[in-house]
A and B are shown apart, each in its own frame.
Chain A
Amino acid sequence: MNLSFAGFPFLSAIMLTCIGGLVAILLVSREQKDLIRWVSAVSSGLSLLLSIYLFVAYDRNLGGLQFVEKIPWLKPLGISYFNGADGFNLPLLLLTGIVHFTGVLSMWELEERVKEFFALYFVLVTGVFGFFMSMDLFFLFVWYDVSLFPMYPLIVIWGSTRREYGAMKLFLYLLAGSALILPAIIYLVVHSGGGGFDLLKLMQPGTFTPFQQKFAFIFLYLGFGILAGVWPFHTWSPSGHVAAPTSVSMLHAGVLMKLGAFGVMRIAIFLCPAGWQYWAQTMAVLATIGIIYGVLVGLTQKDLKFVVAYSSVSHMGVVGLGLSTVTAEGLSGSLFQMFAHGIMTALLFSSVGYFHDRTETKLIPDLGGMSRIMPVASGYFIVGALAGMGVPGFANFWAELTVFLSSLRVYPVRGVAAISALVISALFMLRVVQKTFYGARNERFARLPDVSLGLGVPRMILVAVLLLFGFFPFLMLDLIQTSVLPFMEGLAK
């Protein structure tokens, strides 16, 4: 892989906007809530602009790893501060930028302990950005954990439905995942024969024996799989997402679950390709069960947030299915799906959060006829739901199409089962939309105002992104292919 070093450290600049935002928030007095909101909005806006710039400025003809920054960190152990951007992580950096910014805007009305909320939120985002851009195993792990631990206070303090239970479950599940990852990472590094923690050096073919790859792959796949919501380790996700406050649900379902899937890709698949091929069948089975299970359990839910959370489980199953095909199309499709699903879920959680703030309920039977009370706010949710069903015109359509085409070729039976499950889920989603937004309206909420233009901004951005990549999917797919194709070619050799 060719490396192009950065003239200006754009990647570190993203980190700096997050850490700078964090420090600025800490310096502001807790009484000045508006100032804190503006500081958060400005610094997250800067991160978004930088991530858009990187997405656009990446040289697609050149390919490889660009904007590289590398500084030795702990020499005796071979750890370096090593960041780079390629077709794998740029979509996710962009996703993080978008969800981060819209998440801050979605929490504009928060009044309780604003300073602490945004401080923890920025720690979380710092970890996420760091994880996506890092090319050093040590830092990958550090950022991974940094992005996990703020979840606990965020949910316990600002959450809703069974928050203490949900927060603790999520926290322990995810850290149990990292308990599997750390030994595997150290195992690989120790057996690499002095490769240190440099991902590129460890990726060289022949660094690990097939046995070592198969062995380490189990731990890495399970560890990251827990975060990616792989069935049967997904149970933390619905309870955690439902308990979390709006922007944390957005970030968590939208971005953090991708952290897990990206970890499977960047660490497990990159370092242990033989293990990947060996375990692909099992991965496909788990992913298919996850898709079907998410749909079936989602069918019985009465809480809007649970509906969205279980649809996340099944959509993340699609990502897993794509990864398990061991084909270039599958890999590209699941990357695209990570991006599209991230935006779509963020939109759904953001809309549900809006209803919840107003009506103080998220139970479907209590709502009803909302489209006549808040037509615009309902519109956002319906758009999100349509995107989730895979209606053409939205980014999700292309992503799911790519994954399903490749999976049908590799695993016909599992592919068909997964597709039919998604068709059922589409029908079901329509029923949820019908019950919540049409039908008899609940008079209790009849006087509530519709979403104002200012508060609608985050949802507008998300809808626009879904449409943009829905109409011009090649913007994303071309970028992804610049990295996926060379990787798969390298694998075939």
Chain B
Amino acid sequence: MSWMVIAPELYFLGMAAVFFTLAMIPETDSRRGYITALALAMGGVLVSLVSLKLHGSFSHVYRVDLFSQVFKVLLAVGFFLILCICSELNGIRQENHPEFYLLLSLCTLAMMMLVSSVELLTIYVALELTSYSLYILVALRRGEDLSLEAGIKYFLIGASASAVMLFGMASLYGVTGETYLPALLKELPSHTASPMAIIGLTLTLSGFFFKLALFPFHLWAPPVYQAAANQVTAYIATTTKVAAIALLLRFATLGAETLYMVHVLAALAIASMTLGNLVALIQKDLKRLLAYSTVAHAGYIIIGILCMSESGFAAVIFYAVAYLMMNFLCFLVVEKVAQEGRNVQVPELAGLHRRSPLLALSIMVGVFSLGGIPPTIGFTGKFLIFTAAIEKGYFYLVLVAMINVVVSLYYYALVVKAAYFLKPENGGALIRLPVQLKAVIWAVLAVVIVGGIYPHFIYSVAEAAAGLLR
């Protein structure tokens, strides 16, 4: 067993060690720290790309295959994108910057381990490592009591979710005597009649729903999104969601044989879409608005998962890519428009098309993609999910989802209107973007548009990865 199989994880571990050292050196130049971080993150993307084709496994605990490697690439890309918008980390105290990078890289490392874990215990350990990094990250925001409150709220709800999940895992073990996922997959169908198995599965999934902010486990999302520093929110909204999707995909296959599970998922999907979109209608804070749109998107993703078919899983993997890209476009604007790292109200976007045409374009493409308007990657993702759902006969679910999409377009259109139409009250200064960031934005825009028009490449990778799930 070669160590190289886990190259991305090792790389991120090394990165965390570098940040740890930096954190111990007093009075480091924060500019230098940022450039180091950015360079390391870029290296992380390269390493994970190089190891895309690797496969192997450590006994019955850890598996490296195309599925996990695709998600590792996404996580590394997400990490890199978030670091791109950290150049002025003014939402977080200067002396905490090295810790911020340390926690961010640790969290990414933990999620990489998460997507490769195939054993209940490793999953639990990796998940907790992710969560604890996030709890601290949320509370790091400068001078906001709100952020401390949100951090504690997040911690308490998160800890309860972990407890529930652990209880579920214990029940699963109790029924089947297995903790290895593929073995569980083989064992579980013979126990579908046992309420213990169903309760165990539901409770375990609840833990993951918490991460995905699916109704009714979404309560933490709006306050946390609102209170955390903009970069941290962006990270939670993009990268951690990718990991949650991966985890759900690994687990959902367990429930494939039980119709009961599908009904539960369908009900949750409908509730999540409807509630998320309706509450988002009245939000003024852009981050809160995006938090509720996340809740709605969790619903769309669940539709793809409850199909329990290969095309459904492929569609969800495709959607994970789309989700990362389009949410990044929105949070990028939040970060750049925010003054002194504060929050952004929707009307504050006024005059953005004059202040920075590129940012205005980003938010328009971003929200229209979230709203599923072609030719964007968000449309293609929804299209693939809906196709998979109708193949399985869930016409009504797709109809409900489409009606929800229309509801969501109302608040997305208001965001576009603010950026393009409203006149700013006090002129509004131009927003200057560094050239490197401009290049990154254009690249993400290209992925969103090209992925929407010509999804062939991403879809074929997603299909191959989904094929490994059974």
Determine if A74 and B455 form an interchain contact, defined as CB atoms under 8 angstroms apart: yes
Minimum CB–CB distance for B180 against chain A, Å: 32
Give chain B interface residues in 358-383, CB to chain A under 8 Å: 368, 373-375, 379, 383
8 additional A-B pairs beyond A175-B409, A183-B398, beta carbons within 8 Å, are A74-B456, A76-B459, A142-B379, A146-B374, A153-B416, A156-B417, A182-B398, A186-B383
- Surface stretch bound by A, among B257-265, B330-338, B386-394: B386-394
CB distance from B367 to the nearest CB of A (A): 11
Which residues of chain A from 55 to 84 have any CB-CB distance to chain B below 8 Å in the complex? 73-77
Which A residues lie within 8 Å of B386 (CB)? 182-183, 186
Q: Give the contacting residue for B409; candidates A142, A172, A190; CB below 8 A.
A: A172
Cβ-defined partner of B374 (8 Å) among A74, A76, A116, A141 = A141
Complex: A437 Cα to B405 Cα, angstroms = 46
Q: Which residues of chain B come closer than 8 Å to A145, judged between CB atoms?
A: 373-374, 379
Q: Can you list 25 residue pairs at the A/B interface with Cβ under 8 Å?
A: A73-B454, A74-B455, A74-B459, A76-B459, A76-B463, A138-B383, A145-B379, A146-B374, A149-B373, A153-B420, A156-B421, A157-B421, A172-B409, A175-B406, A176-B406, A179-B405, A182-B383, A182-B386, A182-B402, A183-B386, A183-B395, A183-B398, A183-B402, A187-B390, A190-B390
A residues apposed to B, CB below 8 Å: 73-77, 116, 138, 141-142, 145-146, 149, 152-153, 156-157, 164, 168, 171-172, 175-176, 179-180, 182-183, 186-187, 189-190
B399 touches A186 (CB 8 A): no
CA separation between A483 and B375, bound complex, in Å? 31
For residues 438 through 470 of chain B, which have their beta carbon under 8 Å from a beta carbon of chain A?
A: 454-456, 459-460, 463
Given the complex, which residues of A lie within 8 Å of B460, measured CB to CB?
76
Q: Which chain A residues lie closer than 8 Å to B454 at the CB level?
A: 73
State whether B416 touches A152 (Cβ < 8 A).
Answer: yes
A229 CB, nearest partner CB in chain B, Å: 19
Asked if residues B402 and A157 are in contact (CB atoms below 8 Å), the reply is no
Q: How far is the CB of A267 from chain B (nearest CB, A)?
A: 16
Expressed in whole angstroms, the minimum distance between the Cβ of B374 and any Cβ of chain A is 4
Partner of B421 from A153, A172, A180 at Cβ < 8 Å? A153
B353 adjacent to chain A (CB < 8 Å): yes
* A142 surroundings in chain B (CB, below 8 A): 374-375, 379
- Alpha-carbon separation in the docked complex, A179 to B409 (Å): 11
A-B residue pairs, 7 tightest by C-beta: A179-B402, A142-B374, A183-B398, A186-B390, A176-B406, A145-B374, A190-B390
* B58 interface hit (Cβ, 8 Å): no
**Which one, B353, B402, B413, contacts A180 given CB within 8 A?**
B402
Bound together, the chains give a CA A186 to CA B315 distance in angstroms of 14
Q: Measured between C-beta atoms, what is the minimum distance from A212 to chain B in Å? A: 11
- Contact B374–A179 (Cβ < 8 Å): no
The number of residues on chain B lying at the interface, defined by a beta carbon within 8 Å of a beta carbon of chain A, is: 31
B459 cross-chain contacts in A, Cβ below 8 A: 74, 76
Main secondary structure, interface of B, reads helix
Residue of A with least CB distance to B460: A76
Q: Enumerate chain B residues within 8 angstroms of A141, measured Cβ to Cβ.
A: 374
A157 in contact with B420 (CB, 8 Å): yes
- Is the beta-carbon distance between A186 and B413 smaller than 8 angstroms? no
Measured CB to CB, the closest approach of chain B to A174, in angstroms, equals: 10
- Is B431 among interface residues, defined by CB-CB distance under 8 A? no
The residue of chain A having its C-beta at the shortest distance from the C-beta of B364 within the complex is: A153
User: How many angstroms between the C-alpha atoms of A149 and B378 in the bound complex?
Assistant: 14
Give the Cβ gap from B403 to chain A, nearest Cβ, in Å.
6
Residue of chain B at shortest CB distance from A141:
B374
Which residues on B sit within 8 Å (CB–CB) of A171? Answer: 409, 413
Q: How far is the CA of A172 from the CA of B373 in the complex (A)?
A: 12
A34 to B: closest C-beta gap in Å: 21
CA distance A168 to B416 in the complex (A): 12
Q: Give the residue of A138, A149, A168, A180 whose beta carbon is less than 8 angstroms from that of B410.
A: A168
List chain A residues, Cβ under 8 A from B406. Answer: 172, 175-176, 179
Q: Contact check: which of B368, B387, B456 meets A149 at CB < 8 Å?
A: B368
Q: How far is the CB of A115 from chain B (nearest CB, A)?
A: 10
**Bound Cα distance A180, B416 (Å):** 24
Residues of A within 8 Å of B383, CB to CB, are 138, 182, 186
Question: In the complex, what residues of A have CB within 8 A of residue B375's CB?
Answer: 142, 146
Smallest CB separation, B175 vs chain A (Å): 36
Q: How far is the CA of A145 from the CA of B372 in the complex (A)?
A: 10
A416 to B250 CA separation, bound complex (whole angstroms): 65
Bound-state CA distance A157–B423 (Å) is 11
Chain B hits for A73, CB < 8 A? 454, 456
Give the CA-CA distance A153 to B414 in the complex, in Å. 10
Least Cβ distance of B382 to chain A in Å? 9
**Cβ distance B322 to chain A, nearest Cβ, rounded Å:** 15
State the CA gap A180–B402 with chains docked (Å): 7
Within 8 A of A (CB), among B115-142: none
User: Which residue from chain B places its CB closest to the CB of A148 in the assembled complex?
Assistant: B373
Q: Would you call A156 and B420 a contact (CB within 8 A)?
A: yes
Q: A141-B374, A145-B379, A146-B375 known; A77 and B387 CB under 8 Å?
A: yes
Of the candidates A75, A116, A146, A168, the one whose C-beta lies within 8 Å of that of B353 is A116
Tell me the minimal C-beta distance from A16 to chain B in angstroms: 15
**Minimum CB–CB distance for A289 against chain B, Å:** 25
Q: Which residues on the A side are within 8 Å of B379 (C-beta)?
A: 142, 145
- Across the interface, name the chain A residue whose C-beta is closest to B393: A190
Report the minimal beta-carbon distance from B192 to chain A, rounded to whole angstroms.
27
Which residues from chain B contact A186 at a C-beta distance below 8 Å? 383, 386-387, 390, 398
Name the distance in Å between B176's Cβ and chain A's nearest Cβ.
Answer: 35
State the Cβ distance, A148 to closest chain B Cβ, in Å: 8
A73 to B455 Cα, complex, angstroms: 9
> A76: which B residues are within 8 A, CB to CB?
459-460, 463
The answer to whether B413 and A168 touch across the interface, beta carbons within 8 angstroms, is yes
Cβ-closest chain A residue relative to B422: A156
| Docked complex Cα distance between A189 and B391 (Å) | 9
Of A146, A172, A182, chain B has the most CB atoms within 10 Å of the CB of A182
Q: Which residues of B contact A138 (CB under 8 A)?
A: 383
- Tell me, rounded to whole Å, the shortest Cβ–Cβ distance linking A219 to chain B: 8
Q: Are B416 and A183 touching (Cβ within 8 A)?
A: no
Whether B353 pairs with A190 at a CB distance below 8 angstroms is no
CA distance A95 to B417 in the complex (A): 31
